[in-house]
Amino acid sequence: MSDPWRALIVGCGKIAGGYNRGPDDAMVLTHALAYRNHPGCKLAACVDSNAEVLADFAARWDVPRTYLSLDQALDSESFDIVSVCSPTGTHLATLRRLLQARPHAVFAEKPLDGDAKQAREIGAQFAAQEIPVAVNFTRRFDEAMHALRQSIREGRYGTLHSVVGWYGRGVVNTGSHLIDLVNYLTEREPTIEHVGAAQLCGLDPDFTVTAELDLGGVPFRIIGLPGVDVGRFEVEIGFSDAIVSLEDAGMTLRLRSYGASDVFANERALDRGTWQRTGYGIAMLRAIDELLAWRSGARLSSDIESAAFSIELADEIRARSVEKSQ
């Protein structure tokens, strides 16, 4: 067996380690726990410009070495895989620096600074060096979503006729997850029909927006929830024979099928449905699996190219809503 890949985490905030309570959590919601739990990796070092945050993170996750800058880390040692968890606005600069370091793989957080054009240019440079870059649109790595996509492709639920999704905290930062997931599951690229007013979400310059999109003749509505701390993330996909819902922030999949109504004669109605847990809690481990197994010419479930589409569309929704609100 080859040696575990040495992992570096850049940025020690929520997605780096804060969303997990600690190393004993059952659900892997952070890069730190993903590297601790994956047998193919070991967490070797972390970077943050805030010395106190850095020290707390290293103590919590038992990280052997800490650095106050990415340059300091890369000048001191080499790493096989690097997670870009730094704040929005620093993603692309961090990726450019990693082009020089040439790790085996990169695991980057979205929204890639909301700049799809530059993200694609950087992605092309990584591709030229044959370095895979996974972008953490987490649900694309969930095996339950892979199975759902295949069922939709096979027509198991009938004809697609509507999609509605709910989200909070910014159309670029969070709404892009919704757009990306629907794009992935339906294999259709949404276009913008109408956008609502911009609502403050505490993530300047992002805003939360309600918008009407089109999926090749199928209506797709995203509903932005007001407030700076709204955590709802749900999607309802309507078909001619069933309704599939992703609930509990992506943790639960609900299937309701149409059948004979118990109340109205000669009418069809939805049953109460069945629920199943998704694989969201281990999806980041599956992302690392893909990076470790990557070979030249392969595509990851989520990469810069797929992520750039959803980020670009979300940013266009944001821009139109701001213009409308002025």
**CA atoms of 13 and 53, how far apart (whole Å):** 8
Top-confidence residue, 279 or 201? 279
pTM for the whole thing? Answer: 0.94
Q: pLDDT at position 226, please?
A: 83
Q: How far apart are CA 123 and CA 140, in angstroms?
A: 18
How buried is 304 (Cβ within 10 angstroms: 0-12 exposed, 13-18 middle, 19+ buried)? Answer: buried
Give the pLDDT mean for 86-114.
Answer: 96
| Amino acid (one-letter) located at 144 | A
Q: What are the angstrom distances between the C-alpha of 44 and each of 51, 63, 81, 228, 283?
A: 18, 6, 10, 34, 22
Instruction: Please provide residue 101's backbone torsions phi and psi, each rounded to the nearest 5 degrees.
Output: -80, -25
pLDDT score at 265: 82
Report the distance separating Cα 99 and Cα 70, nearest Å: 13
- Give the residue from 84, 85, 36, 41 showing the smallest Cα distance to 63: 36
* Domains, the chain, with CATH or none: 5-138+284-301 (3.40.50.720), 140-280+312-325 (3.30.360.10)
- Percent residues over pLDDT 70 in the chain: 99
Contact of 175 with 319, CB cutoff 8 Å: no
Listing DSSP states for 206-244 in one string gives -EE--EEEESSSSEEEEEEEPSSS----EEEEEESSEEE
Q: Label residue 276 by pLDDT band (50, 70, 90).
A: very high
Predicted local distance difference test score (pLDDT) of residue 264: 83
DSSP, collapsed to helix, strand or coil, labels residue 104 as coil
Check pLDDT > 50 for residue 325. Answer: yes
| Burial state string for 23-35 with b = 16 or more CB within 10 A and e = fewer than 16 | eeeeebbbbbbbb
Q: Which amino acid is at 39?
A: P
Tokens linked to 320: 């139109």
Residue 1's pLDDT is what? Answer: 47
pLDDT digits (tens, 9 = 90+) for 296-321: 999 999 999 999 999 999 999 999 99
Contact 241, 157 (CB under 8 A): yes
Residue 303 corresponds to which tokens in the numbers above? Answer: 């990469």
Q: In whole angstroms, what is the distance from residue 326 CA to residue 248 CA?
A: 35
How does residue 205 score in pLDDT terms, banded at 50, 70 and 90? Answer: confident
* Cα 198 to chain centroid, rounded: 23
For the CA atoms of 169, 224, 212, 147, the dihedral, rounded to the nearest 10 degrees, stands at 70
More confident call, 122 vs 324 = 122
Residue among 84, 218, 91 nearest 162 (CA):
218
pLDDT at 130: 97
Q: Give me the pLDDT at residue 270, please.
A: 86
